[in-house]
Amino acid sequence: MALSLYDTASRKKVPFAPRQPGRAGIYTCGPTVYRYAHIGNLRTYLLTDLLVRTLRFAGFRTFAVQNITDMGHMHEEALDRVEDKVIAAARAAGKTGREIAEFFTEAFFRDCRRMHFLPADVYPKASAHVPEMIAIARELERKGAAYREGDYVYFDVTRAEGYGGLSGAQLGGGEAASRTDVSIHRHKRRPEDFTLWLPAEPGREFSWDSPWGRGWPGWHVECAAMAIKYLGPEFDIHAGGVDLRFPHHENSRAMAMTATGGRFASIWLHAAHLLVEGHKMSKSLKNEYTLDDLESRGVTPMEFRYYCMTLHYRTPMNFTWEGQAAASRAFSRLKEAVARPAAGGEADPEAADRFRRRFRDAVEDDLNLPRAIGVAHDTAHAGLPAGALRELASEWETVLGLELLAGAGEAAPVPPEVKELAARRESARRAKDFAEADALRAKIRESGFEVTDSGNGPARLRKL
Ligand SMILES: [Zn+2]
């Protein structure tokens, strides 16, 4: 079986056939660096990591581009305030936008390393590509596909061939109208048209000179410009979160295709969203968890990575602490089984090959990691000789990126609040308050640790 991927534009699985034999070009929408990445962002970026890893596993060379939006952009919900998220965060922190962007860019890279994401080949920063964005807007103007109203430059979506082909959005369909029907854009010719260039207010930190005066580029033109610069007018795969499909991807695509005459991305991959305990993540619910939040509850980035991989990327994920605990336990079992295989039988090359094939079929079937993880568990418990099992595990590690062979059973770091619970339990036990000691033991278990008493010595904590 060859690698197939679900293409959002054609709404079906398509065999992957790169434009250049043996080499895959990939663009992913990266972070807007004004805050820490939350677990929903990380799940989306994991899609690209799994894609790149699977492409390499399948024998392709890869060239991956992920942009850093370091000057903020107008979010849909902020259209009426023309708010730049980076500038807003900077104002709140009493720093410059550039300081904020640098700080959170580093934080993003640190999170990527903790999640074992393979680094992209290029991380272009939006603020360093404004001339390329202006060039696209000028080209669109030259082709009569952009128009100027006041100090704004808009893309005329009726000039894009097949607008709506990616998301199913229809002109006059009302979706864009309801989102953009706000005062500053009242002079647009139609609701779906979008900004290529906006005027800067006096003193704005992120602003550039342009043929239309001092201003800044619209969001959608950022990604189009960077994708075209590093991958050309036509490339293989564009990935991102499903929330970006419309309007961001639809608009990037429309403008890029109109400007270059090329088809832009051949395949569009979209990661489904993540809920936390059944709710959309939001500031008010305080459930926009980061990797640090997870670690403070004793969950390692690898355990979170494993949890994500037990669901297909196109399946919405409902993150729950209970689900995470179950995933963490399954992950430990898998590592344990690989590190200490049951007494192996005779070497059976055919058995190993069967597992090898099943794993490959799973990942090459639109990155079906849940199935691949299932194969890994089956393999680990199939009684293969230790050498054969380790060999398979190390092959699969290319895709899984879980440090499966790092050795299971080593002491997991114990978070401070679990240590605190253990200390309280110890005092309760000494005071012979066994009800309290048992209640605390249960709490420790909820945090994913087990406490075992060892004679007269201190109790030991073990990760479940
Ligand atoms: Zn983008």
In angstroms, what is the span from residue 34 Cα to ligand 1's centroid? Answer: 16
The predicted structure's pLDDT at residue 92: 83
In angstroms, what is the span from residue 373 Cα to ligand 1's centroid? Answer: 30
Residue 22 and residue 1: Cα distance in Å, rounded? Answer: 16
Q: Which residues lie near ion ligand 1 (Cβ < 5 Å)?
A: 29, 223
In angstroms, what is the span from residue 231 Cα to ligand 1's centroid? Answer: 14
Per-residue pLDDT at 249 exceeds 70: yes
In angstroms, what is the span from residue 431 Cα to ligand 1's centroid? Answer: 60
In angstroms, what is the span from residue 274 Cα to ligand 1's centroid? Answer: 19
In angstroms, what is the span from residue 222 Cα to ligand 1's centroid? Answer: 7
* CA-wise closest residue to 33 among 136, 139, 109, 145: 109
In angstroms, what is the span from residue 29 Cα to ligand 1's centroid? Answer: 4
In angstroms, what is the span from residue 283 Cα to ligand 1's centroid? Answer: 23
Cis ω on the peptide bond leading into residue 131 (within 30° of 0)? no
| Homologous superfamily assigned to 15-271 | HUPs (3.40.50.620)
β partners of residue 275: 280, 318
Per-residue pLDDT at 314 exceeds 90: yes
In angstroms, what is the span from residue 10 Cα to ligand 1's centroid? Answer: 20
In angstroms, what is the span from residue 48 Cα to ligand 1's centroid? Answer: 13
| Structural domain spans, the chain | 15-271, 283-406, 416-463
Cα angle: 179, vertex 180, 185; to 5 degrees: 170
Answering whether pTM is above 0.75, one says yes
The predicted structure's pLDDT at residue 88: 79
The full DSSP string for 197-220 is EEEPPTT-SS-B--TT-SEEE-HH
Greatest Cα-to-Cα distance within the chain, rounded to the nearest angstrom: 84
The tens digit of pLDDT for each residue in 12-48 reads: 999 999 999 999 999 999 999 988 999 999 999 999 9
The predicted structure's pLDDT at residue 332: 95
Per-residue pLDDT at 77 exceeds 80: no
